[in-house]
A = this chain, B = another copy of it.
């Protein structure tokens, strides 16, 4: 996303937004680079990462925030490359589950390792700084009534982050 440099009603708010965008740009660039390094596009990499365990395609569409038809396309490409296969869902014969092949699991491992190794923010902060940043983000996200926050995965917190009121 582009830099935003404007006269803003609130200069502190401006800087926060700018820096969050910058943080995001860095993370995104990192992710893109890691994906490319193992020969995947960004959505392919997301899909592989998501596949720690078999997932129905509709569920995957939810995780990727896209339409089911797009998951079909991504799955096609990853299946063709031999990183996953479709298997029938035991509970619903309409549904298919995406399952990583052996090659897919190895790929996922490499992906995770590289992702973590170079992650910009993690490597830049010491333990105190990390804890501080994290608690701020928790505060921001738990008190925010804006609906986009609600997408935060429930599994993200360790319980210290109060649930978002509905």
Contacts and interface: CB of A to CB of B under 8 A. Distances in A.
Given A16-B133, A52-B6, A141 B23 contact: yes
Residue of A30, A119, A137 with most chain B CB atoms under a 10 A cut-off: A137
Contact of A13 (B25, B130, B139, B157): B130
A27 B19 contact: no
A134 B118 CA distance: 23
Interface string A117-149: 011111111000111111011111101111011
Interface in A1-45: 1-31
A158 interface: yes
Contacts of A112: 6-9
B152 A52 contact: no
B5 A50 contact: yes
B50 A16 contact: no
A12 B119 contact: no
Nearest to A26: B148
A106 interface: no
Given A122-B17, A132-B132, A138-B19, A30 B155 contact: no
Interface of A: 1-31, 46, 49-50, 52, 63-65, 112-113, 116, 118-125, 129-134, 136-141, 143-146, 148-149, 151-153, 155-158
